């Protein structure tokens, strides 16, 4: 019981969206998970963005998920820490790139205080410039994996789920290194946990704000204040319950 009391009180929120691209007619769908965690005296926000579409027919730039935007209640401060593949493959010229580094911080950028879709004070992360992000906004300004220094074009945007490369993909999509699966973004929030999940979330596609976007809906799936036991805690608790059960049976 003491171990359970010491468990983390972080929260997790899930946002989902789906639609049809007015540019290409392909099905669009995206998922964004926001999760707070504590490490020592510091709090972090982990964001996992995934292109969950299964429609890879005739892929065009407007089918590539390139950005995530959100608003948070209160006066949240986020400091970008890292952008990583989190185990997702990178496709380039129709093949998976072998041994690709996990760090893609040189290809994704972050800014706060943006104006987006009639909202202000918006947080945004993107692999495309979108006339919003520049070279010094990148998670890792020292890295450049492809293309110009900075963020621009499709490089390292998120493709739909792929089992094999679609032979009818457009040339700009085939020629760009792109991720199939999810992307993990990590932010430092200081000594204080973010008090609440985002109030609005959007997924942006393509290389221009005039291209398709989805407004994602959802909310808390693990509320703040509900303990989230670590795997070790769960194991210890299970062992303690097993011992108690054996003792009870022995008394019978």
Cβ-contact 27, 54 below 8 angstroms: yes
Higher pLDDT, 73 or 187: 187
**Which residue, among 149, 101, 118, has the nearest Cα to 215 in the 3D structure?**
118
What integer is the mean pLDDT of 218-222? 93
Bridge partner list, 47: 34, 185
Going from N- to C-terminal start, the domains of the chain cover: 10-228
DSSP state of 163: S
Q: Give tens-digit pLDDT for 106-161.
A: 999 999 999 999 999 999 999 999 999 999 999 999 998 987 777 888 999 999 98
Q: Give tens-digit pLDDT for 52-87.
A: 999 999 999 999 999 999 999 877 789 999 999 988
Cβ-contact 125, 67 below 8 angstroms: yes
Q: How far apart are CA 226 and CA 222, in angstroms?
A: 7
Q: Phi and psi for 29 in degrees, rounded to 5?
A: -155, 145
What are the E-state strand segments in the chain? 12-20, 27-39, 42-51, 65-71, 79-84, 90-92, 95-96, 109-116, 119-126, 158-159, 178-180, 182-190, 200-205, 213-222
Computed from CA positions of residues 89, 35, 130, 112, in that sequence, does the dihedral angle turn out positive or negative? Answer: negative
Cβ-contact 17, 218 below 8 angstroms: no
pLDDT, position 226: 57
**Which residue, among 97, 208, 80, 206, has the nearest Cα to 146 in the 3D structure?**
97
Report the SS3 class of residue 239.
Answer: helix
Alpha carbon distance, N-terminus to C-terminus of the chain: 25
Report the SS3 class of residue 59.
Answer: coil
Cβ-contact 26, 63 below 8 angstroms: yes
pLDDT, position 93: 93
Query: pTM of the full predicted structure?
Result: 0.85
pLDDT, position 225: 59
Tokens of 193: 């946990």
DSSP state of 132: T
Q: How far apart are CA 56 and CA 173, in angstroms?
A: 11
pLDDT category of residue 233 using cuts at 50, 70 and 90:
very low
Q: Give tens-digit pLDDT for 1-46.
A: 443 333 457 999 999 999 999 999 999 999 999 999 999 999 999 9
């Amino acid at each position: 019981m003491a171990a359970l009391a010491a468990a983390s009180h972080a929260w997790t929120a899930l946002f989902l969206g789906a639609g049809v691209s007015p540019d290409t007619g392909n099905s669009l769908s995206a998922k964004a998970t926001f999760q707070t965690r504590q490490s020592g005296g510091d709090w972090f926000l982990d964001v996992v963005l995934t292109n969950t579409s299964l429609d890879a027919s005739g892929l065009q730039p407007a089918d590539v998920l390139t950005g995530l935007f959100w608003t948070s209640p209160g006066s949240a401060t986020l400091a970008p820490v890292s952008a990583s593949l989190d185990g997702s493959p990178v496709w380039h010229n129709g093949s998976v790139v072998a041994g690709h580094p996990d760090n893609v911080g040189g290809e994704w950028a972050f800014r706060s205080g943006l104006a987006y879709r009639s909202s202000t004070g918006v947080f945004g992360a993107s692999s495309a410039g979108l006339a919003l992000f520049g070279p010094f906004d990148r998670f890792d300004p020292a890295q450049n994996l492809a293309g110009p220094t900075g963020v621009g074009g499709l490089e390292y945007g998120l493709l739909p789920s792929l089992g094999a490369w679609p032979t009818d993909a457009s040339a700009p999509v085939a020629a760009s290194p792109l991720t199939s699966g999810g992307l993990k973004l990590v932010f430092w929030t200081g000594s204080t946990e973010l008090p609440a999940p985002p109030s609005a979330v959007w997924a942006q596609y393509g290389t221009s704000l005039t291209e398709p976007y989805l407004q994602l809906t959802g909310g808390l799936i693990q509320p703040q204040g509900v303990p989230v036991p670590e795997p070790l805690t769960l194991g210890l608790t299970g062992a303690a319950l097993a011992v108690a059960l054996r003792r009870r049976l022995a008394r019978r």
